[in-house]
Structure 1
Amino acid sequence: MAVEAAEKMFSALLAQQTVRESVANSSLSSGVSLLQKKKYKEAVSSFQQSIAMKPDQVDAYNLMASAYLQLDDKKKATEAYKMSLRVDRTQVDPRINLANIYIDDKNYREAESQLKAAILNDPANTLAHYTLGNMYIQTDRLREAETELKTVTRLSPRDANGYYSLGVTYNKLGDYGNAVTQLTKATSMKQDFALAIYQLGLAYSGLDKKDLAQDQLTTLKGIKTSQAVDLADQLSLSLATPKIFSFNQANSSFIPTFGPATPLYMLDMSFLNAPNASKDLTMQFQFDSTMDVASVTNIANWSIRRAANATTGSYVASNNDAIIAPLPKSVMYDSTTKQATLTFTISQNSSGTGTIDPSHLVFKFSGKDINGKLIDSSADEFAGIINEPF
């Protein structure tokens, strides 16, 4: 009699368990359907019903977390992933997804913990290594990023993204040669890979291969997507180097267009009948970029010399040549107008008959802009004979 009662109880419990599992699976299926229809709140309710019937249903927890993310509720999504991992700690995807939430919140310590646990459970999981490597890039742990991303390229040698991120790492390290190698692989594997093309342009710029950097800019401009257009604008700004834009005669006391054997009194009447007199004159230059104040006002970054090359021709000397200081006396810079005003000294000879060849004096700047970029060598000098920067 007792045996028969036990059997009936067991059968009832088994039937009840079967019903619970059936309801759990039905709710899970319903939740998936609602998720696909983007009815996220209703999907959450279905997943909760599934979990109520079967608390160890990891798929329900994970899918519920996805629904919460669509609802922009990262807190509840985090709780759902944690519940899933309590049921099965060997899962990898929930840990990666949880790490991405932590990364988004800049909780890098927790993100690293989840990703390392994922890798421990599945050492060959490319996504875990890739996510960890990119997190290391974000936090400037670049050598650790290099290690993880090398693993990615070994595990998935045909995936362009691994080479791209490794190239980004090398660019940040200033290792532009290796950056070019990795980014070239990335662009060869994935057509119109705008991000990689942009980084390749930066790498070529770092190697001072301006023509190749410009080629990447041209390629970006040809892609025509909004991302490529934005990246092209950024690369264009990055490749731009500061230049002397013009000479401002209106704000200068020196006249650089006068030719050979110009008497000093033609520049300033105070030189007339004034042997051994010295006079400070000015030249104002307009830059196309905001310059570094310390650099542009450092007189050692400027020079004044007599022309002697094919571009400018040669300074025409005379027996009465005046003395011209090779460095300016001072430099004033206005960052609002991007104008630098050089003050330099010219000295009369002992007989008061000094002459000069203003058009063949070359003024040169060798400094940098506010971003640390050196002046462009195609526009770092000025001579009156050309009357424009060169």
Structure 2
Amino acid sequence: MSGIESVLANSLTWEPATTILDEQDATDILSILANQSDGMAEMSNEFLDSGITSYANGDYEEAATAFEAAYAIDPDNDNSTQTVQYLAQSYLKLEKTGKAIEAYEKAIEQDPTNTTFRTSLAQLYITEERYDDAKAQYARAVGIDDSAENLYSYGESLLLTEDYEDAEEQFKKVIRLESDSTAGYYGLGKTYAEMEDYENAIEQFETALEIDPEFYDAMAEIGYAYADMGETELAREVLEDLEDLDEDLADTLEDYIDMAEAPQISFAYSSSTFPYQMTSGYAVSAIDSYLENAGASKTVTMVFQFSKSMDADTVEDVYNWSITRSDSNNMAEDYNFGQEVPDTEATLNYYPDSVVYDWDEATATVTFTIHQNETADATIDPSHIVFTFDGECVYGVSMDEDADEYSGFSGVA
């Protein structure tokens, strides 16, 4: 006989309803009803105890059966909330999230004002990415009990559904209720960060840290905000402080900074005979002997090193690249040093011929063609040829506008 069967056999000892009906004295009837109720509560508790034992022993199927029986026998038992929570946890251990959700949904039908059931159900909805359903449950919980805890959870669910203004309102309510708690400021900071109001976000996180200097999650959020602002150096300063305080948060922040940081061209070099550092008036025929021939063409290559892993598709799309002559108000940086360009000057195609990305090295090899003119006397200013790239890293972050082009004269710009 199983543990549950044993409990059930030992508990079925109360009088049937016909016995009550046979009683003539009202006081006796009420007494018998009370005894019946006590018997149901006792049996429900025995099933609960049996379920807890099975749960502790890792027998989650047996535990779930016991908890179901305990709640079905006496759903109004003082321990009913605990019973339903154990039942849901048993189903989760069995990887039956749907059954756990169903347990809370049925419990809410029985006791619609139980906020523990509603908030627990909302949490399960979130794990299933049912954010609107979660938001609805938290909203009902707040309607029943507008505690700071419920308001905070409701605000978090509003962030998941991108209802930022409503979330802001909830977190401000939390602050009014518990101004000495970090929760409201932390939630409000995350809301402003989602709204891309990073300065206000940082201010809220700093307030949370003033309340609790060991609230390192708020410190990490400041780092995230700086990273999203493109203030990589400030983000890394936060990272440096956090490394000595919380290694796990520091690792997460470091990954986030690396992800959010705009990619750059670090440096470039020629992997062919293209003399990218030579200046104006350089003879095309000196690049390769084949170009001594009138009308000849020769492909050459440049290699560009990126600061992080790039999206290969955007790198290898030739239309994300351009090859132009430098155009600057600074004569030293201008093509041909700002002097008139002769008619014999060689021209390059605006787009390269091809681009190949090397995943291991995070480099792009750009192939382009140089043409000799029909009189075999073309010249070029290689150091003032500007290579520009407009693509993305593997995380979808666009190039840093201050480091998306390269020329032999100016370097990365």
Looking at structure 2, the residues matched to 190 and 245 of structure 1 have their Cα atoms a distance apart, in angstroms, of 44
Which of 240, 262, 275 in structure 2 is aligned with 1:255? 275
1:94: how far off?
Answer: 2.0
1:63: how far off?
Answer: 0.5
Against the structure 1 CA distance between its residues 342 and 56, is the aligned structure 2 distance closer, same or farther, given a 3 Å change threshold? same
Looking at structure 2, the residues matched to 115 and 297 of structure 1 have their Cα atoms a distance apart, in angstroms, of 51
Matched with 2:386 is 363
Name the TM-score, length of structure 1 as normaliser: 0.74
Against the structure 1 CA distance between its residues 380 and 158, is the aligned structure 2 distance closer, same or farther, given a 3 Å change threshold? farther
SS of 2:304 mapped into structure 1: strand
Which of 215, 218, 229 in structure 1 is aligned with 2:240? 218
More divergent stretch after superposition (296-305 vs 175-184): 296-305
Query: Which amino acid letter does the alignment assign opposite residue 130 of structure 1?
Result: Y
Against the structure 1 CA distance between its residues 156 and 261, is the aligned structure 2 distance closer, same or farther, given a 3 Å change threshold? same
Matched with 2:11 is none
| Cα deviation code 1:111-146 (max 9, x no counterpart) | 333222211112x22232322322233333444433
1:284 matched to 2:307? The reply is no
Name the TM-score, length of structure 2 as normaliser: 0.70
Query: Which amino acid letter does the alignment assign opposite residue 173 of structure 1?
Result: M
SS of 1:140 mapped into structure 2: coil
1:343 matched to 2:368? The reply is yes
1:235: how far off?
Answer: 2.3
| Cα deviation code 1:172-222 (max 9, x no counterpart) | 333333333333334444445454444333322333323212222323433
Aligned ranges 1:137-286 → 2 under 5 Å: 137-191=159-213, 193-250=215-272, 253-258=273-278, 262-269=282-289, 272=292, 274=294, 279=297, 282-286=300-304
Aligned ranges 1:301-316 → 2 under 5 Å: 301-305=322-326
SS of 2:167 mapped into structure 1: helix
CA contact (8 A) 2:320 2:389 kept: no
Looking at structure 2, the residues matched to 156 and 175 of structure 1 have their Cα atoms a distance apart, in angstroms, of 24
Aligned residues: 377
More divergent stretch after superposition (63-72 vs 371-380): 371-380
RMSD value, Cα = 4.5
SS of 2:407 mapped into structure 1: strand
Q: Which runs of 5+ in 1 are unaligned?
A: none
Query: Which amino acid letter does the alignment assign opposite residue 382 of structure 1?
Result: S
Matched with 2:399 is 374
SS of 1:223 mapped into structure 2: coil
Q: Which runs of 5+ in 2 are unaligned?
A: 1-22
Against the structure 1 CA distance between its residues 193 and 304, is the aligned structure 2 distance closer, same or farther, given a 3 Å change threshold? farther
